Amino acid sequence: MNYLRTSTMNVVAVILGVMCAEMLLGANPPQSIYKSRRQQVIAALKPGSVAIFRSAPVAHRNGDVDYEYRQDSNFYYLTGFDEPESALLLIKEKRSVPGVPARVQEVIFLREKNPAMEIWTGYRLGVEAAPESLLVDAALPITGFDAVIDSLAAEVKIFYVRQSVARDLRALYRDGRKVRGLRIKSPAAILNPMRLHKDAHELALLQKAIDITAQAHVQVMRAARPGMYEYELEALLEYVFKRMGSERPGFPSIVGSGPNSCILHYQSNRRKIRPGEMVVIDIGAEYGMYTADITRTIPIDGRFSPEQRTIYQLVLAAQDSGIAAAQPGNSFRAPHKAALRVIVRGMIGLGFLKGSVEENIENGTFRDFFMHGTSHYLGMDVHDVGGTPELQPGQVITVEPGIYLSAATCEKLGIPKAYSNIGVRIEDDVLITPTGPKLLSGKAPRRVEDIERLMMEKAVLKNKL
């Protein structure tokens, strides 16, 4: 542990620390960006309609403790406002709203200032400062939200609101039934395409999240060694997240060793890592509400065994093929199909599958060791909103094939025991550009020789201490 602590403080501080201040300065975009997004939504609303967006609820943990708060992605995308107990009202045509003297289109509802409570729970923006700060037409106390919706329900027949939110609004549902003649439409058809195509500022935030995550992988590769617990690597990588300005992980960190490397969304991270094992590390730092998602698989000894190398190189070749297929105009499934063919062909070559590539794909025999898709969209959510059948410029996707040879799978397929409990997943973040895919996460080593070289650096550092 002394080595881990000292190497972390020295290496991370020197290599990464100078970036923190610059990165933090870029975390908050100007409010004009959110204003422009709101205006896009209003322009897309049907005549005579309104749209409602609610903040994320506070999640109770136990006793008088709540979970760390994370704002709803849609709400933040349109407001840049991080406080709970808030709501946004967008109106197609300017109209009168109770409590506001002028006709308005954009109204934010939020908590009022409360000095006594702010001593305990922190600063509140407050109603008076909100219009100028958030560039909205008006601000009202959240306590008056239901009354405003009641008044609008008497005049407006189309509400854009998520069903889960709509059912909590007394004005829209009576005794569990929707008010007669009222139309409830999901805002997803408007918001999802906006969120799916990243603008320059979004890409900058996402790239910072990715760079932080890549550096966390680098530090883990340098520090990892047999006998450590999975949670020690988790602690190190999340330290790097915080040290570089990340607000939080974008999802629970996955550090799965040995048999746990074959569990896709393993999250316990409590096992002691034994010599000779592989470790799947699937992590993503969140920065400015955008999350990375990068997976690396490393040999805890710093060197791949022949069997580990064989499987790793096969997954890497599949990933390279998947990334090459991430071309604008190609189907969203194109990277998966390309990666799958490489994996099936490779497993046939190893004698682990019989028959042709086409036969195995048609019969689904590969699902014993490759049971998930290869890509998902990435942005404010780790599995971000999608919606287009074809890949388009401005979209960011992951490419993450894997092979998982659990002991049970090896026994079922007659695979030699030397391959038992070798789980390998390699995941990178890719921007679709007009000229082809752009790898955003290349700072995290993924080639065998680069991983082994980096993991050997830990021994050099350790001997100096």
- pLDDT tens digits, residue range 340-361? 999 999 999 999 999 999 999 9
Q: Is residue 375 part of a domain?
A: yes
Helix (H) or strand (E) holding 22: helix 20-25
User: What is the mean pLDDT of the segment spanning 390-400?
Assistant: 98
Pair 253, 161 in one domain: no
Q: Is residue 21 part of a domain?
A: no
Q: Where are the alpha helices (DSSP H) in 244-356?
A: 306-324, 334-349
pLDDT band at 398 (very low <50, low <70, confident <90, very high): very high
Identify whether 343 is part of a domain: yes
Please check whether residue 219 lies inside any domain of the structure. Answer: yes
Distance CA 149, CA 50 (A): 10
Domain containing residue 92: CATH number? 3.40.350.10
pTM of the model: 0.92
The per-residue pLDDT for 16 is: 37
Tell which residue, 452, 446, 443, has the closest CA to residue 424: 446
Contact 19, 243 (CB under 8 A): no
Cα(113)–Cα(75) distance, integer angstroms:
21
- Residue in this structure with the two tokens 């109204």, named with its chain if needed: 107
- Report the pLDDT averaged over residues 422-441: 98
pLDDT for the residue 179 = 87
| Region of poorest pLDDT, from 11-15, 28-32, 161-165, 418-422 | 11-15
Which residue, 142, 177, 194, sits at the end of a domain?
194
pLDDT of residue 264: 97
Q: What is the pLDDT of residue 307?
A: 98
pLDDT-derived band at 457, boundaries 50, 70, 90: confident
> Are 169 and 215 in the same domain?
no
Report how far apart, in Å, the C-alpha atoms of 184 and of each of 119, 148, 166 are.
Answer: 40, 17, 8
Smallest Cα–Cα separation from 327: which of 399, 432, 442, 429?
432
Considering its fold, how many domains does the chain have in total? Answer: 2
Strands (E), 118-157: 138-141
Output the pLDDT for position 458. Answer: 64
- The mean pLDDT of 52-72, rounded to a whole number, is 97
**Domain's final residue, options 194, 227, 255:** 194
Tokens of 118: 């702010």
Q: Assess whether 280 and 154 both reside in one domain.
A: no
pLDDT tier at 236, thresholds 50, 70, 90 = very high
Q: Give the CATH number, domain containing residue 320.
A: 3.90.230.10
Structure tokens at 93: 């045509």
Considering the domain architecture, whether residues 384 and 279 belong to the same structural domain is answered as yes
In-domain check, residue 266: yes
27 vs 269, more confident: 269
Q: pLDDT: is 294 or 388 the higher one?
A: 294
Q: If you average pLDDT over residues 404-417, what whole number do you get?
A: 97
Q: What is the DSSP letter of 8?
A: I
- Assess whether pLDDT exceeds 60 at residue 7: no
| pLDDT score, position 129 | 98
User: What is the mean predicted confidence (pLDDT) over 212-227?
Assistant: 97
Mean pLDDT, the chain, integer: 92
Same domain, 177 and 292: no
Whether residue 170 sits in one domain with residue 276: no
Domain's final residue, options 139, 168, 194: 194
Instruction: Using the predicted structure, report yes or no on whether residue 1 has a pLDDT greater than 60.
Output: no
Predicted pLDDT at 10: 36
Please check whether residues 131 and 258 belong to one and the same domain: no
In 3D, which of 191, 236, 155, 161 has the Cα closest to residue 38? Answer: 191
Cβ atoms of 385 and 195 closer than 8 Å:
yes
Residue 34 domain flag:
no
Domain membership flag for residue 270 = yes
The pLDDT score that the predictor gives to residue 170 is 87
Q: What is the pLDDT, as a whole number, of residue 459?
A: 52
Encode pLDDT of 381-393 as tens digits: 999 998 889 999 9
Q: Say how far apart CA 204 and CA 433 lie, in whole Å.
A: 15
Rounded to the nearest 10 degrees, the angle between the axes of helix 306-324 and helix 334-349 is 150
Per-residue pLDDT, averaged over 154-171, amounts to: 92
When pLDDT is averaged across residues 361-368 and rounded to a whole number, the result is 98
Q: In terms of domains, do 189 and 207 share one?
A: no
175: left (phi over 0), alpha (psi -120 to 50) or beta: left
Looking at the structure, tell me whether residues 150 and 230 fall in a common domain.
no
Residues 87 and 100 in one domain: yes
Distance CA 235, CA 248 (A): 13
- Please tell me whether residues 190 and 310 are part of one structural domain: no
CA distance linking residue 290 with residue 144, whole number of Å: 32
Q: Look at residue 28 and tell me if it is in a domain.
A: no
Q: In DSSP terms, which residues pair with 297 in a beta bridge?
A: 280
- Is a pLDDT exceeding 60 seen at residue 441? yes
Residue 96: domain span: 45-194
Is the pLDDT score of 64 beyond 70? Answer: yes
Residue 340: how many other CB atoms lie within 10 Å: 22
- Residue 251 main-chain phi, psi, to 5 deg: -165, 165
429 has a pLDDT exceeding 50: yes
Closest CA to 298 of 283, 318, 320: 283
pLDDT, position 14: 30
% of the chain residues with pLDDT over 70: 92
Quickly state the pLDDT bin for 196 (edges 50, 70, 90). Answer: very high
- What share of the chain in percent tops pLDDT 90? 88
Of 82-96, 160-174, 360-374, the least confident: 160-174
Regarding whether 210 and 171 lie in a shared domain, the answer is: no
The pLDDT score that the predictor gives to residue 106 is 98
**Active-site residue set:** 64, 265, 282, 293, 372, 376, 383, 400, 404, 425, 427
Residue 168 phi, psi dihedral angles, 5° rounding: -90, -5
DSSP string computed for 79-105? H----SS-EEEEEEEEEEETTEEEEEE
Query: What region, left, alpha or beta, does residue 80 occupy, with left being phi > 0 and alpha being psi -120 to 50 degrees?
Result: left
For residue 243, give the 3-state DSSP assignment: helix
